[in-house]
Structure 1
Amino acid sequence: MARTLKHLWGQIHPKGYALCAFMISLGGFLNGYDTGSIGAVTTMPQFEKSINKLSPTLQGFTVALIMVTGAVPGIFAGQLANRYGQLLVVMAGALVFTLGTALEAGSSKLPMFLVGRALAGIGEGMWLTNISVYITEIAPSAKRGTFVSMPQLMAAFGICAGYFTCYGSIHISSSLSWRLPFIIQSILAIVLAISCIYMPMSPRWLQLNNRSEEALRSIHRLDISPVEAEKDILRPRPLVREGPSGVSGFLTMFKREYRGRTMLAFFILGMLQLCGIDGVLYYAPILFTQAGLGAGTASFLASGVSAIAMLLVSIPAFLYTDRWGRRSSTITGGVLLSGSMFIIGGLYASDSVHADSGGGRWLVIVLIFVFALSFVGTWGVVGKIYASEILDARTRDVANSAAQGLGFFTNWLVAFTTPIFLAHSSYGAYFLFGGLSLLAVLVLIVFMPETRGYSLEYIQEGFQNLHARGHRQALSYSADAERSATVTLGKRVRRLLIGPVLFPDGVGDGVTTSMELDLGQVQMPPPTTGEGGILRLEVSTV
């Protein structure tokens, strides 16, 4: 019997990297829990009795304060992670968050509550980027998208949990009704901090800092495949050194070889907010009321139904992230986001939405759900994954944190300006967000290469070899010949890639017109041809 139970446990025992990804994703749950609870907390009668009734402006300031204070540590958390590792920074952030939520839970006056909220924002800013980077560096290439999207899935669970906690606690007559959500957050933040003590450091971070023996132990604890570890993490690299820190860290990510990737990551994480998702999430009751629903129905749709719907969409998005291309998901999502915003704006601009009757208001409501669910299933999952994947190991922490800080700022900007836009125009905000989403789609069509299924090291080589000194040129050749092919080129070849295999240095150097490729030079079987017998080749030219 004991042997049978041991065998069954061996079958279901999770891999180390999966367990660590789940535990550190508790940070995503806490982020979602706050989003799902803070709006309800500030409108509870018990909160108004204990703290005071907040004006709309003061309520908006209180809700958005966590974004403002999270922006600054969000920018600098990567510097700390470069020096001390992601786990120590996440643990420190969790402890600061614990202090902040404890102050919120124990508040008797608004200033104390605001101080606690500000500290909670600092804690969130320290961990939010670093949990994504940590998971990116420990997850296998084939499953990286799934695991990096885990914090987003946990955030969706957190939104639901926060909403339904408040839905239940509002029936408590004492002040515990509004204090309970913050008590729960404090407890969970302590669990996150303690978990960081027992999780292994990122082997890629250890290897980058010349701690190879510790990297080996970390690989063993994380159950990373020896083949993948040898091929990607432990392979020799020239002049491996500590990542840049301080001012040099910011300067490094804007050097020529990193600049393009840095700006792409900044653009993606900034547009995640500028598309208007937080305007929809925070002000959904206003949007539904504007469309003609009663206040009670609007609140129910905005909080309960939308939270459950986003969770249900997050689950398949999480499970199938590594089956869907990063590029195709992002572009498709952007089309849905911009399209839904433009249609809503057009309905309001043409005076087709009436509170009393007509199908216009219901079309607006459906399109708001389409917008939110499209975001959750595409941009909300892929954006942070892609931004972490494309950055070099030496700039990943710094650039991701700076981009996250930009995300906090744009988040606050959208939350602050949306009610102003809605007060002045029923359709202006929709056209603005639709236009920004469309702009993002056009930029990403041009500048976003696919990364799904490739190791982090191969992605970095791809950017270095194909983008650093020249431009990428896509070619095709007929695979009728088993081991060779003739390729016509218009420029001098610097590096040549066939599929995931890099030719040895010097192959093809100096060729300006055409060359005979001897595929036998590469230790690989004859290439499998694609549809129509065509295999894509990529060359970098100078």
Structure 2
Amino acid sequence: MQAHLRLLLCVAAISLGGAVIGIDTGIIATVIAQDSFNDFMFPPGTKNASSLLGAIVAMSSTGSAVGSLLCGLTLEKLGRKYTIMISTLFTIVGAVFQTAANGVAMMIVGRLICGIALGILSPSISVYISELARPQERGRFIGAFGLIMSIGFCVANWIGYACSFANTSKIWRLELAMQFPVAVVLLIFCIFLPESPRWLAEKNRPEKFEASIRRIYASEPEEVILKLQVEIQSQIAIEAAERENATLGHALIELFSKKFIRRTALAIAVMQVGILSGSLAIQNYQSLMYKALGFNGQELLLISGCYGFMGVVGQVINLAGVSDKWPRVRTMWVGCIVLAAMLSILAALSKEYGSGQNIVGARAGVAFIFIYSALYAVFFNSTLYTVAAEMFPQHLRGYGTGVAAFCQGVSGIWIGQVTPFAFDAITWKYYFVFIGSLLALGALYAFFLVETNNVSLEEIAGRFGDHVVSADKVDSAIVEKRGEQTTEHLEG
């Protein structure tokens, strides 16, 4: 651990962005369950209250889709570090609008701004960590980001439960204000973080590239640092011709060209499981599910808090036994089958005990929602971001990850809009939308996904048929670089 302490500190600091994301996404589920919020936003006589509530929830996904498209552009032009800082600042602005909201319109604007911020922040952190981490620990480092995200979501749920005991109609504003502290701390931390060495190499800034890589890997042996420098610079040189026209328009065309369409389609499919697994619907509308099982009042918020805690448990299991230990492909397809089984059981329980008259059956339904939360974290919470960020070459990594996240955001919009009506209209049958999606995605992952576990980002490109620098060339370049350093030392 001592050998790469600075790298660990960088990852720990940037992973705080997971808490920003977790609190922002988790807090809305508890806010909309508060009677004081609903009384303020939807007083008696309000028309289309369900539609307006759906708009408030779904607006975050709308903003996330917009932010994801902007993400590729800002990652390429401004760099990884400053993109993360800008998106964090947007989160703070959005939180101000939500906390001070005087009606549905202002609340929607705040949710939109925060959605844009999260659409930029989440893929940006994944890209940043993937470019800093070594192959054998990339999954665990992004998994740590996922763990902090789960903790943030859990904290948001328990804040909601604690606030339910307050005797004030303004308590929902305090809940929304909880988005501020962590975002401010992350913004301060970002000031001291190094820029991604791979981005600096891509932008042909050799002095800053070397300074950054030596700062991050300061305690590593010189041989390791030299090899890493040579591998990155050599692969960047190979991609130089493709990078000359790296505008947003050209990047989008390239992503859907014959050469890269497979990677783009797979990255989109990987990110879709974050929505089509039912995770977003359960996360945002779990109170409706608990009501369908016969629970009401503060019981809903207490159960939501336990749901969030199970996500933390699942992410710990992921870090301990799945990340960088299981192959990525196996993790993805097994996860789809397991979650489909959980939702099938939950659908059956909701059908039989949806009236809430059988308390044992209702509790069993809640238990399976908890198990679902833990298992989603075990298989997908951080894995999908890891895999999506790994697939693309350096000059398209930001754009490609952004496009995949954009498509996820689009799916989130219609799921967010449809879910309240679907639960009202078809109740337990709605689960089969997600069961079918999981089985289809599982088959796709099993037969078409490329394994990326414990492989360097440069070597992954070779698995998709790209020309990559050979080991012999790396060795000869290291010898040449040593000679240059020796000459400089003698001349000095």
Tell me the TM-score range normalised by the shorter chain. 0.7 to 0.9
Is residue 192 from structure 1 mapped to residue 186 from structure 2 by the alignment? yes
Partner of residue 113 from structure 2, selected from 114, 119, 133: 119
1:240-289 superposed Cα distances (whole Å, 9 cap, x missing partner): 24571221010111222211111100111023211211112222232233
Could you say what secondary structure the match of 1:15 adopts?
helix
Residue 490 (structure 1) aligns with: none
Question: Taking structure 2 as the reference length, what is the TM-score of the superposition?
Answer: 0.85
Could you say what secondary structure the match of 1:114 adopts?
helix
In 1, Cα distance between equivalents of 2:361 and 2:271: 33
Residue 238 (structure 2) aligns with: 238
User: Per-residue deviation at 1:347?
Assistant: 5.5
Gaps of 5+ in 2: 474-492
Give matches, 1:64-83, under 5 Å.
Answer: 64-83=58-77
Check conservation: 1:208, 1:243, Cα contact below 8 A.
no
1:213-244 superposed Cα distances (whole Å, 9 cap, x missing partner): 21111101111745251453233633624571
Residue 489 (structure 2) aligns with: none
Could you say what secondary structure the match of 2:394 adopts?
coil
Amino acid at match of 1:104: Q
Residue 488 (structure 2) aligns with: none
In 2, Cα distance between equivalents of 1:310 and 1:422: 23
In 2, Cα distance between equivalents of 1:99 and 1:352: 43
Is residue 204 from structure 1 mapped to residue 198 from structure 2 by the alignment? yes
Residue 56 (structure 1) aligns with: 50
Residue 18 (structure 1) aligns with: 8
Give matches, 1:295-310, under 5 Å.
Answer: 295-301=297-303, 303-310=304-311
Could you say what secondary structure the match of 1:257 adopts?
coil
Partner of residue 147 from structure 2, selected from 148, 153, 160: 153
Amino acid at match of 1:338: A
Check conservation: 2:98, 2:111, Cα contact below 8 A.
yes
Is residue 399 from structure 1 mapped to residue 393 from structure 2 by the alignment? no
Check conservation: 1:82, 1:243, Cα contact below 8 A.
no
Amino acid at match of 1:386: V
Is residue 183 from structure 1 mapped to residue 170 from structure 2 by the alignment? no
Shift in CA distance, 181/294, structure 1 to aligned 2, threshold 3 Å: closer
Check conservation: 2:314, 2:376, Cα contact below 8 A.
no
Give matches, 1:154-303, under 5 Å.
Answer: 154-173=148-167, 177-223=171-217, 225=220, 226=222, 227=224, 228-230=227-229, 232-235=231-234, 237-238=237-238, 240=240, 241=243, 244-301=246-303, 303=304
1:433-455 superposed Cα distances (whole Å, 9 cap, x missing partner): 11110001111111112211111
Residue 344 (structure 2) aligns with: 342
Check conservation: 1:74, 1:401, Cα contact below 8 A.
yes
Shift in CA distance, 374/246, structure 1 to aligned 2, threshold 3 Å: same
Gaps of 5+ in 1: 1-10, 469-494, 505-542
Moved more, 77-86 or 409-418: 409-418
Is residue 448 from structure 1 mapped to residue 449 from structure 2 by the alignment? yes
Shift in CA distance, 423/105, structure 1 to aligned 2, threshold 3 Å: closer
In 2, Cα distance between equivalents of 1:330 and 1:158: 24
Shift in CA distance, 299/41, structure 1 to aligned 2, threshold 3 Å: closer
In 2, Cα distance between equivalents of 1:12 and 1:180: 41
Shift in CA distance, 391/86, structure 1 to aligned 2, threshold 3 Å: same
Amino acid at match of 1:220: R
User: Per-residue deviation at 1:23?
Assistant: 1.9
Shift in CA distance, 45/27, structure 1 to aligned 2, threshold 3 Å: same
Moved more, 108-117 or 57-66: 108-117
User: Per-residue deviation at 1:57?
Assistant: 3.1
In 1, Cα distance between equivalents of 2:419 and 2:35: 26
User: Per-residue deviation at 1:14?
Assistant: 6.6
In 1, Cα distance between equivalents of 2:339 and 2:245: 37
Structure number, greater radius of gyration? 1
Check conservation: 2:157, 2:301, Cα contact below 8 A.
no
1:363-400 superposed Cα distances (whole Å, 9 cap, x missing partner): 43333333222111102221110111111112110011
In 2, Cα distance between equivalents of 1:46 and 1:427: 28
Residue 371 (structure 2) aligns with: 370
Could you say what secondary structure the match of 1:394 adopts?
helix
Amino acid at match of 2:72: G
In 2, Cα distance between equivalents of 1:415 and 1:72: 16
User: Per-residue deviation at 1:157?
Assistant: 0.8
Check conservation: 1:42, 1:48, Cα contact below 8 A.
yes
Shift in CA distance, 438/119, structure 1 to aligned 2, threshold 3 Å: same
Check conservation: 2:311, 2:377, Cα contact below 8 A.
yes
Q: Percent identity?
A: 25
Is residue 101 from structure 1 mapped to residue 100 from structure 2 by the alignment? no
User: Per-residue deviation at 1:362?
Assistant: 4.6
Is residue 33 from structure 1 mapped to residue 32 from structure 2 by the alignment? no
Shift in CA distance, 358/171, structure 1 to aligned 2, threshold 3 Å: closer
Could you say what secondary structure the match of 2:75 adopts?
helix
Could you say what secondary structure the match of 2:382 adopts?
helix
Amino acid at match of 2:153: I
Check conservation: 1:285, 1:295, Cα contact below 8 A.
no
Shift in CA distance, 346/199, structure 1 to aligned 2, threshold 3 Å: same
Amino acid at match of 1:255: S
In 2, Cα distance between equivalents of 1:259 and 1:63: 32
**RMSD between aligned alpha carbons?**
2.9
Higher relative contact order by CA 8 Å / sep ≥ 6: 1 or 2?
2
> Comparing both structures, which one devotes a greater share of its residues to strand?
1
Check conservation: 2:267, 2:388, Cα contact below 8 A.
yes
Shift in CA distance, 233/412, structure 1 to aligned 2, threshold 3 Å: same
In 2, Cα distance between equivalents of 1:417 and 1:166: 24
Could you say what secondary structure the match of 1:427 adopts?
helix
User: Per-residue deviation at 1:134?
Assistant: 0.7
Check conservation: 1:209, 1:243, Cα contact below 8 A.
no
Check conservation: 1:75, 1:403, Cα contact below 8 A.
no
Check conservation: 2:71, 2:124, Cα contact below 8 A.
yes
Check conservation: 1:90, 1:127, Cα contact below 8 A.
yes
> Comparing both structures, which one devotes a greater share of its residues to helix?
2
User: Per-residue deviation at 1:181?
Assistant: 3.4
